[in-house]
A and B are shown apart, each in its own frame.
Chain A
């Protein structure tokens, strides 16, 4: 497929556990974004990568959240010591990155639905 893919589609974990969520952007897209969507809300920004580096991580709620993109393609969002409040849909998006992502259309993946029990 040519779109953004995310795995797993669903993840159930227990409070206090560690989880990793994976995003595979559209081929050739250098800009990658993570958002979190709670029930009944719009997506909220978490972090943005241009290439391998995190250009803006101002949306990460606390130091339990961390994301990497070591080779400038696939990204992993990591959540340590999960809490029930972390339950949400985690969305990944990518854009071309030609203008460092400024004003570009972001294309979204299907999301990972995380449930922390």
Chain B
């Protein structure tokens, strides 16, 4: 069975602080894909990043960076110099490399509040 755990329910930081959102996943499959989505107060899920299980390189996109470690089944997300606009619920998700079974398994989300 597949499972995604986001142990941090809520995090509050002061603007300009760095913050890391944790994501731990479980799957017996060797090929899978990991995602992060942002859900601002408006409610729409916004895609941030997609990573396949064979690519363990860390990625940086502006103030966002992702650390994928297969050894610990983690795919953590760091926001550098946080801004108020980063306030949202962030979801980590997993999908398998199986035709007909490509639904996303989501974690319960981490609510990030950036205080000005």
Contacts and interface: CB of A to CB of B under 8 A. Distances in A.
Interface of A: 31, 33, 35, 40-45, 48, 55-56, 59, 89, 91, 93, 100-111, 113
Given A103-B52, A108-B44, A45 B108 contact: no
B59 to A, nearest CB: 14
Contacts of B101: 56
Interface in B1-26: 4
A109 B43 CA distance: 9
A59 B93 CA distance: 16
B43 A111 contact: yes
Interface residues of B, number: 28
Interface of B: 4, 33, 35, 37, 42-47, 50, 52, 91, 93, 95, 97-109
B106 A42 contact: yes
Contacts of B105: 45
Given A41-B108, A44-B106, A103-B52, A108 B97 contact: no
A6 to B, nearest CB: 10
